[in-house]
Amino acid sequence: MSLVQHVSVIDGVDCEPEPADLEGFEPIRRKLSYDVFIHPPLPPDEDKSGVAQYKVPTVTRGAQVLVTVLACAFASGIVFGFAAFKPVMVAEGVYSSLCADEELQEGADLCQKQDIMLNFFFTVASITTNMSALPVGTILDRYGSHVCGFAGCTFLAIGCLLMAYCFANSADAGYTVGNFFLALGGTFIFVPSFQVANTFPKHAGTIVALVTGAFDASAAVYLLYRMVWEATERRFTPDKFFLGYLVVPALIFVSLVTFMPKSDYKSVQQLEAKIKSVQDPLCDVHEFDEDISDDSELRLRRQRCAEARQAKIQEVDEVIGDESERKSRLEQEEERQATAGVWGALHGKPAHQQMATPWFILITLMTVMQMLRMNYFIATIRAQYEYMLDDAHRAIEINHFFDVALPVVGMISTPFIGFLLDHFSVPAVLGVIVLLTTAVGAVNSIPAVWAGYCTVVLFVTLRPLYYSAMSDYTTKVFGFTTFGRVYGSIICLSGLFSFSQYGLDALTHGPLDGNPIPINAAFAIVGFVVGTALVTFVYIASQRMRAKQSEDEAEERRWLFHEVIPEEE
């Protein structure tokens, strides 16, 4: 799972700040951007970029959505299937050169240094996926999704070639580099994919859910390969797999060259501005009308102009819906904002001021802990249950259950997560996350088979919920204007601290002698303490915001009352 995942809106309007903070604030609708450099957007009526959807056949746009979803399913997050791929790497002897002679003589499948290095192999890929969202977002905003697609194909191909070479020649030094490029290529494919939501704006929510679900499904690529590897009695070696996998970036490249849009489609706000401009009857009047002396000819010309305007309005309406549909969407968005309870808490404030508040500090601490905890579990699930159950066969069964549950639950849960984020307040969602976080750590500390399966179910439920809730929290609290800087800072800090997983692996194999229970229990305690602090703060803040809103509404009613009474007298 990636921190760049989200299941909610991809654009919106920030709450208008207090009068004292109005300097430099422009209430322009903005799209979700991971660009850390803030650039004032053009007003929608002046922004002529993008392709108009109504100029592209519906079948073509549908094919573009399908190809985008398939590209995500096969390429965006394959590195997160590491738990399924790790047994293959162990069997192929990856990093076995790090094992001591005594360990090899004992016939151990996996030695300590080898295990630590394999986990580091995954940690680098996970961090790359998240931290690369910043440069990818910057490139996306400046050059569009088409350029990002070509970059993604290139990096995926480089990663495949490096991995194939390393497996064919036992080149231990190149595995991590190859996985780095696979992760980087995946991000270049995934982040721009959300732009395809503008292909059919009326169905943007469904398309975003499909893209997100496809990302979760991509974790199953390694699982499918491992099943083939086992079915062929290990004859379909990893080097052959990665050479064959080159067909994925090749097909994406072909689609980009042939029928994928060269420029991104126009946003909803651009299309709405288009409607406003052509609704003006003055558009039927031109300077050269003065040269027409015949009134009937003039009326005919203006009638044709009016018909052309109405035809244009109808074309746009077919894309984004008529006035009643647009009004309904606006009402739904306003209801969603009201439900959040904290919407607009820090909108309009500079990023450095936002990041100096508990809103930022607490969610960052929570994310650092969650990312470290999740990466540790994915990398060590089999080793954990081999120790706790003292039964390698049971541990393998739990690992296999996890390999299937991770992508499947991720796909299934996407619409439910969207419903939860849209219909429950931010404090309530955070409360659910803290409950799941604590439960995962607690149950993961119980050395029993049933606890292993329960941990997997809780974990694969928590992961997509947390990462989707993160971007949702950031837009609702900090706003779209500073999203890139604020969310980027959270991602960077979380990524940097994730390198400490190397220390956790060393601690597990060293002083703890393979026992993961103390670390799991510590994660449960820290998650509960930090999470409770976050939920408490956000809940109190939401109550204060509602109280202030009630006071403002009461004051407005009193003001209106005093304004009306003198007029009646």
* Residues 396-455 pLDDT 10s: 999 999 999 998 998 888 888 888 888 899 999 999 999 999 999 999 999 999 999 999
What CATH number should be reported for the domain whose range is 50-265?
1.20.1250.20
Question: How many C-beta neighbours within 10 Å does residue 354 have?
Answer: 22
Which residue(s) pair with 51 in the sheet? 265
260-290 core/surface letters (b: 16 or more CB in 10 A; e: else): bbeebbbbbbbbbbbbeebeeeeebeeeeee
Taking only the tens place, the pLDDT of each residue in 497-514 is 888 888 898 899 889 988
pLDDT at 312 over 90: no
Among residues 272, 134, 255, 129, the alpha carbon closest in space to that of 196 is found at 255
pLDDT at 175 over 80: yes
Express as a percent the part of the chain with pLDDT over 70.
82
Q: Is the dihedral of CA 200, 201, 205, 209 positive or negative?
A: positive
**Mean pLDDT lowest among 5-14, 105-114, 294-303, 484-493:** 5-14
pLDDT at 237 over 50: yes
Express as a percent the part of the chain with pLDDT over 90.
40
Query: Is-contact 129 30, C-beta < 8 A?
Result: no
Tokens of 384: 């954990």
Assign a CATH topology to domain 1-42+345-569: Growth Hormone; Chain: A; (1.20.1250)
Look at residue 4 in the predicted model and tell me its pLDDT. Answer: 54
For residues 135 and 191, give the distance between their C-alpha atoms in angstroms, rounded to a whole number: 11
3-state secondary structure of 51: strand
**Mean pLDDT lowest among 26-30, 78-82, 359-363, 563-567:** 26-30
In whole angstroms, what separates CA 532 from the centre of its chain? 25
- How much of the chain is in helix, strand and coil states, percent to nearest 5? 75, 0, 20
For residues 101 and 97, give the distance between their C-alpha atoms in angstroms, rounded to a whole number: 9
- pLDDT: which is higher, 396 or 338: 396
User: Residue 485's pLDDT band (boundaries 50, 70, 90)?
Assistant: confident
Query: Is-contact 154 99, C-beta < 8 A?
Result: no
pLDDT at 280 over 80: no
359-379 core/surface letters (b: 16 or more CB in 10 A; e: else): bbebbbbbbbbbbbbbbbbbb
Average pLDDT of the chain, as a whole number = 83
Query: Is-contact 264 141, C-beta < 8 A?
Result: no
pLDDT at 349 over 80: yes
| Alpha carbon distance, N-terminus to C-terminus of the chain | 66
Residue 236 region by backbone torsions, left for phi larger than 0, else alpha for psi between -120 and 50, else beta: beta
Amino acid letter for position 60: T
Q: What is the mean pLDDT of residues 266-270?
A: 75
Q: What is the mean pLDDT of residues 188-206?
A: 84
Among residues 205, 245, 271, the alpha carbon closest in space to that of 50 is found at 271
pLDDT at 563 over 80: no
pLDDT at 295 over 70: no
- pLDDT: which is higher, 49 or 350: 350
Q: What is the mean pLDDT of residues 49-74?
A: 88
Among residues 319, 305, 206, 223, the alpha carbon closest in space to that of 270 is found at 319
**Mean pLDDT lowest among 33-47, 306-320, 549-563:** 33-47
Highest mean predicted confidence (pLDDT) among 30-34, 454-458, 506-510: 454-458
For residues 327 and 333, give the distance between their C-alpha atoms in angstroms, rounded to a whole number: 10
Look at residue 376 in the predicted model and tell me its pLDDT. Answer: 92
pLDDT at 385 over 60: yes
Query: Is-contact 171 239, C-beta < 8 A?
Result: no
Residue 344 region by backbone torsions, left for phi larger than 0, else alpha for psi between -120 and 50, else beta: left
3-state secondary structure of 30: strand
User: Residue 59's pLDDT band (boundaries 50, 70, 90)?
Assistant: very high
For residues 264 and 145, give the distance between their C-alpha atoms in angstroms, rounded to a whole number: 7
Which residue(s) pair with 12 in the sheet? 30
pLDDT at 46 over 70: no
Taking only the tens place, the pLDDT of each residue in 523-562 is 999 999 999 999 999 999 999 988 887 777 677 667 766 6
What are the backbone dihedrals phi and psi of residue 425, each rounded to the nearest 5 degrees, phi first?
A: -70, 160
Look at residue 339 in the predicted model and tell me its pLDDT. Answer: 81
Look at residue 24 in the predicted model and tell me its pLDDT. Answer: 44
Amino acid letter for position 63: A
